[in-house]
Amino acid sequence: MINHFIYLLKKKFDRYIHDPIAAILAVPFFLILKILPYKLSSYLCGTLMYLIAPLTFYNNRVKKHMQIAFPKKSKKEINKLSSQHWFILGQTIGEMPHINKLIKLGNLETEGLDKIKLGPAILVGAHMGNWEFLLRVGDLAGRRAGYVFRPINNWILNKMQIHRNKDANADFYRKGRLAAIGMAGKLKSGEVVGLTGDQLLREGIKVPFFGIETPTPQAAAVMALKWNVPIYMVRVERFKGIKFRMSVENKLTIPKNLEKDKAIFEITRLISSRIEEWIIDKPEQWLWAHRRWGK
């Protein structure tokens, strides 16, 4: 009874005090970034994150995760990689208000869009480079895709995020039952859906990720098997300056003659393994701060 009361009290506090205060601080900052030229916005946020983030407890988490993935790297190498990661994460934040402008200016090079111009497809990306471009892959291929999103905890900022992505020419489904229904409808209609495969999903199946059995989203595998739909990995890479490439890779080879559960495991493992390869190639570009391996 007491725990329930405390829970309700916290919900009220978050909705009417914490979330509005956080929004009051965040909204002007975002508007300033939007007004600034995209290069200044990117490098300003990158510099701020580079200077401030190492002073927070998140820095220890980032280093811990890097040590899991790269146990042979020295402390000096991990520190350098951590600093590079924070700068790039800051750049990503600074570029968020300018995503459409970056596309129009030709800062994003694309490869393989022709693979998804016709028929149903499941697109799987990761939080690398600048993952905001993933929400434009369907539109760039001439399709109105459906994407799964995890709501921001702050209800005001979440509404802003939804509004901000209205120009992506896409449908967005809140993670959970609504997402499952929305994606099923899209695929059965011969359309395209997109999701990420590199976040912790406690109800996911355990597959190896850098040698550790880790709960991983299996939705792509389940849908691919159920509706016989191809899976395409979509990689976003950042290059020197503010240049990017988004590549739709060849469709994933789905194992045949396996029992359903084994097939789901194998497809999910292949997705996770490919994301590993991206991270090994450009480790500074992945979002190390999220709890991929849990607490």
160 vs 187: which has the higher pLDDT: 187
Q: Where are the domains of the chain?
A: 99-285
CA-nearest of 60, 141, 86, 76 to 283 is: 86
C-alpha 251/C-alpha 232 separation (Å) is 5
CA-nearest of 148, 126, 248 to 198 is: 126
Average pLDDT, the chain: 91
Query: What is the model's pLDDT at position 203?
Result: 81
202 vs 135: which has the higher pLDDT: 135
C-alpha 77/C-alpha 73 separation (Å) is 6
C-alpha 47/C-alpha 49 separation (Å) is 5
> pLDDT grade, residue 1 (50/70/90)?
low
Q: Which pTM was predicted?
A: 0.91
CA-nearest of 195, 265, 188, 292 to 234 is: 195
Contact 125, 81 (CB under 8 A): no
Task: Read off the pLDDT of residues 64-118 as tens digits, 9 standing for 90 and up.
Answer: 999 999 999 999 999 999 999 999 999 999 999 999 999 999 999 999 999 999 9
Residues 6+ apart with CB under 8 A from 265: 205, 207, 218, 221
Residue 152 sits at φ, ψ, to 5 deg, of -70, 140
